[in-house]
Structure 1
Amino acid sequence: MINNKGYNPWLLGTLLLLVLVFSVAFSLIVGAVTIPFETFKEAFIDFDTTNQLHQVLINVRLPRILGAVVVGVSLSISGALMQGITQNPLADSGLLGINAGAGLGLALMFAFFPNATYWFILLACFLGAAVSVGFIYLVTSSRRRTMTPLRLTLAGAGISALFIACSQAVALQFNLNRDITFWSIGGISAISWSQLRLVLPFFLIALIAAILNSPAITILRFGDDTAISLGKKPHWTRLTATVIVLILSGLSVAVVGSISFVGLIVPHILRNFVGENYRYLVPLSGLGGGLLVVWADLVARIINPPFETPFGIITALIGIPFFIYLSRRGGLRL
């Protein structure tokens, strides 16, 4: 089916998927140590525990890159869903303070439960993200003023600044600067198979729920009355999407820390191809987000060898000019 932008979304999705698979394979080979292609094939066909390159490929790079894909998909879909349910073109889990709330939950867990398992760290991130969303909607739910994109963005910026300050205060009080800094700049290098095994069930459930919920979000663009007349429940749609965003944002912070702009950039780019049809925009945003984060991580690894540049800096260098461009184009209207 050709959509109203003139592009075939199935063909575009297939292309993005193929490019993502190629990018994952390329990122596995390239790094501080370049792995020969023959060794790459052998590691997957006949893994040798005594071969150091096999160990690097399977136990270091592969979980790291798969983690990058999970984070990219999660953040991009979160951004697309938030833009749909708030009608805010600048919505993003980082810009609206959700990541900062998850980061505060992480800091409190480090402070009061330093020996907590990764399961409890993940739970703390979910709860922190939920508190952040609650604050944002409390601040913007005034009866006298409508919740415009500008007010929602400013409220998110204020909540984000508050939670970041609280996280820093907790870090100083409990001497957690090293741990918090690693997460806050987007630490992806320490992702392990054990973390992925814990995160993947939440990720897959939220991903499936997001895809199933995406047609209802498209209808929200035409107003609640239209949605109700078509048999939809707008409040239920927004609540479901918000829970999905909390799960995806929380697990992203638990894995790599607070990363902004991924959820802002990717959905906007793909709207040029599929318009506002969230049935296509949500899954395509996931593929595009995974692709962006994989390449950001690869650039971060090779830009300044033998040292790594935090890949959160790479996404910020891309995202800040993009944010300014959207604002000047008319993304912020009172």
Structure 2
Amino acid sequence: MKFQSRMRMFVMLIAPIAALLLVVASILYGAKQITATTVWESLFWFDASNVDHQIIWSSRLPRAVGAILIGCFLAVSGALMQGMTRNYLASPSMMGVSDGSVFVITLLMVFVPSAHSTQLILFSMLGSALGAGLVFGIAWLIPNGMSPVRLAILGIIIGTFLSGVADAVATYFQISQSVSFWYNARLHQMDPALIKLSIPFAFVGLMLALVASRSLLVLSFGEDVAASLGQRTWIVKAVTILAVVILTGVSVALAGKIAFVGLIIPHIARFLVGVDHRWTVPVSGVLGGLFLPLCDIIARFLNHPFETPIGVVTALFGVPFFLYLIKTRGGGKHA
């Protein structure tokens, strides 16, 4: 308990410093090297005629901020899903939630090509709800469908199906180039205006996540125990799913599908601060907000001066971790 209490304080104290350092590193390093002096001048004496200043404000800074936000949103979503289902393998990318967003965004690009940014975010959240509804709905119908391995397999199947249909639709209507952004996440194409627009939605999602986290610990002991303690489990689940839908939908709208963040980070958070979701959920958000920009920086150096797709870097961490979970914990639910 002392270790966990200390880690809670340490994470909360060190996170702002680490985030600032990652933002600075993200701005400084890339295909084009930018000096610290230039960064300082661009922040306080912006010169629209200076190409480096334009790169910093239109590309590097939005990219760094976007990576922090998306990492936070996906990690919180993963922590909520794992807490609600008591499933170590649950995450937005594994449960078809992200794929549902990509699927509906593809339909939006086909039938409403002039859709504005607000519509993009709303339809992305609608897609998240569709993906989650399909996976958990089918899992509820089949025998032992909510077991960790079966739920993960079902999520991968539904996610692959939605992704395949979306790809077929994009190919048929010849918009593959337009929607490729959401299939292969590219943080360097972050839209600053879309980030600003997403903040209110994300704020609501995070508030719902914090509300749900206060009840997830009781729910993790089982629905019968939670009900006997007076908890309305369906309300807790509804709030949790709504938070996941909002946060995942916003993340996909901003940068496309990014896998494994929501799978890995909640496990690290539980190791550091324990199983109390009142701490696990916010700490997951903090760690996720550090993990994704770190992966983004690594992606710039793996094949410098060319950038490696961010999904490749997260997969380097995520695939071994996923296999480890399948081997060690895939056979049962966690408390």
Alignment TM class, shorter chain as reference: over 0.9
Q: Which residue of 2 aligns with 1:122?
A: 121
Could you give the per-residue CA deviations for residues 272-317 of structure 1, whole angstroms, max 9, x where no partner exists? 1112111111111111111111011112223323332211111112
Q: Which residue of 2 aligns with 1:36?
A: 35
Shift of 1:199: 0.9
Task: Identify unmatched segments of 5+ residues in structure 2.
Answer: none
Identity, in percent, stands at 35
- 8 Å contact 2:186–2:255 — kept in the other structure? yes
Structure-2 separation of matches of 1:112 and 1:59: 29
The 1:3–1:228 alpha-carbon spacing in structure 2 relative to 1, beyond 3 Å, is farther
Q: Which residue of 1 aligns with 2:262?
A: 263
Q: Which residue of 1 aligns with 2:324?
A: 325
1:220 maps to 2:219: yes
Q: Report which stretch shifted further, 292-301 or 70-79.
A: 292-301
Q: Which residue of 1 aligns with 2:315?
A: 316
Q: Which residue of 1 aligns with 2:134?
A: 135
Q: Which residue of 1 aligns with 2:93?
A: 94
Q: Read off the aligned partner of 1:313 and give its amino acid letter.
A: V
Structure-1 separation of matches of 2:300 and 2:100: 28
Q: Which residue of 2 aligns with 1:56?
A: 55
Shift of 1:228: 3.6
Q: Read off the aligned partner of 2:203 and give its amino acid letter.
A: L
- 8 Å contact 1:4–1:275 — kept in the other structure? no
Q: Which residue of 2 aligns with 1:103?
A: 102
Structure-2 separation of matches of 1:205 and 1:142: 31
Q: Read off the aligned partner of 2:181 and give its amino acid letter.
A: F
Structure 1 residue matching 2:89: 3-state secondary structure = coil
- 8 Å contact 1:126–1:247 — kept in the other structure? yes
What's the C-alpha RMSD, in Å, of the aligned pairs?
A: 1.9
Structure-2 separation of matches of 1:313 and 1:93: 17
Structure 2 residue matching 1:95: 3-state secondary structure = coil
Structure 2 residue matching 1:189: 3-state secondary structure = helix
- 8 Å contact 1:185–1:313 — kept in the other structure? no
Structure-1 separation of matches of 2:286 and 2:33: 26
The aligned runs of 1:120-269 (5 Å cut-off) are 120-142=119-141, 145=144, 147-269=146-268
Shift of 1:222: 2.0
Structure-2 separation of matches of 1:54 and 1:239: 45
Q: Which residue of 2 aligns with 1:78?
A: 77
- 8 Å contact 1:20–1:287 — kept in the other structure? no
In the superposition, the TM-score normalised over structure 1's length comes to: 0.94
The aligned runs of 1:270-309 (5 Å cut-off) are 270-309=269-308
Structure-2 separation of matches of 1:138 and 1:172: 29
Could you give the per-residue CA deviations for residues 80-102 of structure 1, whole angstroms, max 9, x where no partner exists? 00000001000010011111111
Q: Read off the aligned partner of 2:320 and give its amino acid letter.
A: P
Task: Identify unmatched segments of 5+ residues in structure 1.
Answer: none
Q: Read off the aligned partner of 1:317 and give its amino acid letter.
A: L
Shift of 1:176: 1.9
Shift of 1:5: 4.1
Q: Report which stretch shifted further, 229-238 or 121-130.
A: 229-238
